[in-house]
Amino acid sequence: MSRRRRVLVTGLGLATSLGLSVEGAWRRALAGQAGIKPLGRSPEERGPLPAAGTVSEEDWGTIVSAFPAEAGTEGERRTLFALWAASMGVGDARLTAADPRRCGVVFGAGLGIVRLEDEARWFGADGLSDARRFAAGLAEVRRESLARNPSDRAASLVAHKFGFSGVNATLTTACASATQAIGTAYRMIERGDADVMLAGGSDSMIHPVGLVYFVLLGAASTSSAPAATICRPFDRRRSGLVMGEGAGIVVLEAKEHAMARGALAYAEVAGYGSSLDGYQVTAPEPNGAGAACAMQAALRDASLTPAEIGYVNAHGTGTRLNDVAETRAIKSVFGAASAALAVSSSKPLTGHLLAGCGGPEFIFTVLSVQNDEVHPTINLTSPDPACDLDYVPEGARRRPVDAALSNSFGFGGQNACIAVRKLEPGRARHDH
């Protein structure tokens, strides 16, 4: 490999329950305002879960109005979320001219929706699947169904929209997907395979099959507490994850490419690490060995020491197993330096975006590095003795953040971590 190229973050875009603008979402995150709301008006409408971090109907209407043609033909929410976030990111980067062959897309996305109504029509009276019924009824399958809207649809649509003809890839590695996508895009630019990459993730599983899946696994909270207080990472009363939806997408750019066009950037992507627990499909390794491996790899790649990291954006799901394992992983990596470390989780604010969660969380990490400010872990009022780091429970905190880590850990033992570093004076932008 030739010399490593430096990689900058030059554009940010998102769509979450905190809103459609990065500035607005960041302001709400610092204020500790949760976007998690009740699902439906009655238990029958809510289904198995009481609340979720849903994109508001008003914001969904804004997205549909912005992309009427795609809204009319696509139908799947995560695809439209990705298109919105990518468009906002490209606009934010002021990217107007670039060689399309040197521009690419890498997204993290979930598997997609399986509609039981569609499945039912493919079975005969004997209860077995009938290929003839499937062939005859394929045209009637709902637009958002996995059969018509596979996981790679968002990456393909975004690339077509902007004329990016370089590498195009979709990662589906559970909750590590978006962070692995950003890390993969970083690697491509670093080694010279691309100059500009759109990277991040998008997901929406807020439908009956998607919701009940996590209930059956025992991972989702069914608490009857007020919606905004249900997600409680690192709290002894935590009861499970709370679903969210949306997208977070960034523009990554080779430093020399950005400088040639006079672009300013938010921060530098300094390192990336990924690992596999090899332990259990639905539970992390209890001591966080795989998570620690990913963080150590990101630090090595970035040539950063634990003492140089000011902040970790934790995966922080609010589940019994994850929070303890992640705490142990951070302590094993940082050692004595963990006492001076700020750690917070974004999921009580946005809900858990599953395959897309690493997108908005990476954006918040970048903004923490840029602004020397950390958003709080809300709802942490009764700390678990096994979770004994500084999780910033009291509210937003101003503190030096010269470098930070963004963590994502998923089912199947997938782990990913990205290191972000502050830019030298004169290169950073200041509009968020």
- Summarised one tens digit per residue, pLDDT across range 203-260 is 998 877 777 778 888 889 999 999 999 999 999 999 999 999 999 999 999 999 999 9
What is the structure's pLDDT at 29?
A: 98
Rounded CA separation 406/313 (Å): 5
Residue 101 has pLDDT above 70, yes or no: yes
Nearest to 232 by CA among 357, 349, 348: 348
Query: Is the residue at 124 inside a domain?
Result: no
Q: Give the residue numbers annotated as catalytic, written as ranges.
A: 175, 315, 352
Q: Are 309 and 403 in contact (CB under 8 A)?
A: yes
Domain ranges, residue 340: 7-113+149-421
DSSP state of 364: H
User: Taking residues 411-418, what's their average pLDDT?
Assistant: 95
H/E run at residue 419: strand 414-421
Rounded CA separation 256/192 (Å): 11
Query: Is the residue at 158 inside a domain?
Result: yes
Q: How confident is the model at residue 357 (pLDDT cuts 50, 70, 90)?
A: very high
Q: What is the CATH number of the domain that holds 294?
A: 3.40.47.10
What is the structure's pLDDT at 221?
A: 93
Residue 138 has pLDDT above 90, yes or no: no
- Summarised one tens digit per residue, pLDDT across range 317-353 is 999 999 999 999 999 999 999 999 999 999 999 999 9
Given the DSSP bridges, would you call strands 196-204 and 245-254 parallel, antiparallel or unpaired? antiparallel
Range with the lowest mean pLDDT among 97-106, 117-126, 276-285, 320-329? 117-126
Say which residue, 6 or 205, is predicted with more confidence.
6
User: Taking residues 351-359, what's their average pLDDT?
Assistant: 97
Query: Is the residue at 197 inside a domain?
Result: yes
Secondary structure E strands in 196-258: 196-204, 245-254
What is the structure's pLDDT at 431?
A: 57
Q: Tell me which amino acid residue 148 is.
A: R
What is the structure's pLDDT at 74?
A: 80
Nearest to 56 by CA among 77, 70, 75, 76: 77
Residue 428 has pLDDT above 70, yes or no: no
Query: Is the residue at 367 inside a domain?
Result: yes
Range with the lowest mean pLDDT among 125-139, 157-171, 218-232, 331-345? 125-139
Rounded CA separation 80/71 (Å): 7
What the block records as the tokens of 287 is 């001591």
What is the structure's pLDDT at 427?
A: 58
- Summarised one tens digit per residue, pLDDT across range 187-196 is 999 999 999 9
Residue 45 has pLDDT above 70, yes or no: no
Q: How confident is the model at residue 313 (pLDDT cuts 50, 70, 90)?
A: very high
Nearest to 352 by CA among 395, 315, 391: 315
Residue 119 has pLDDT above 80, yes or no: no
- Phi, psi for 130 (deg, rounded to 5): -125, 110
What is the tally of structural domains in the chain? 1
Residue 297 has pLDDT above 70, yes or no: yes
What is the structure's pLDDT at 270?
A: 98
pTM for this structure?
Answer: 0.94
What is the structure's pLDDT at 143?
A: 73
Query: Is the residue at 27 inside a domain?
Result: yes
User: Taking residues 172-182, what's their average pLDDT?
Assistant: 97
Q: Are 231 and 242 in contact (CB under 8 A)?
A: yes
Query: Is the residue at 166 inside a domain?
Result: yes
Query: Is the residue at 129 inside a domain?
Result: no
What is the structure's pLDDT at 46?
A: 56
Range with the lowest mean pLDDT among 7-16, 120-129, 276-285, 392-401? 120-129
User: Taking residues 79-100, what's their average pLDDT?
Assistant: 95
Mean pLDDT, the chain, integer? 92
Q: How confident is the model at residue 1 (pLDDT cuts 50, 70, 90)?
A: very low
Query: Is the residue at 144 inside a domain?
Result: no
Residue 125 has pLDDT above 70, yes or no: yes
Residue 371 has pLDDT above 80, yes or no: yes
Residue 419 has pLDDT above 50, yes or no: yes
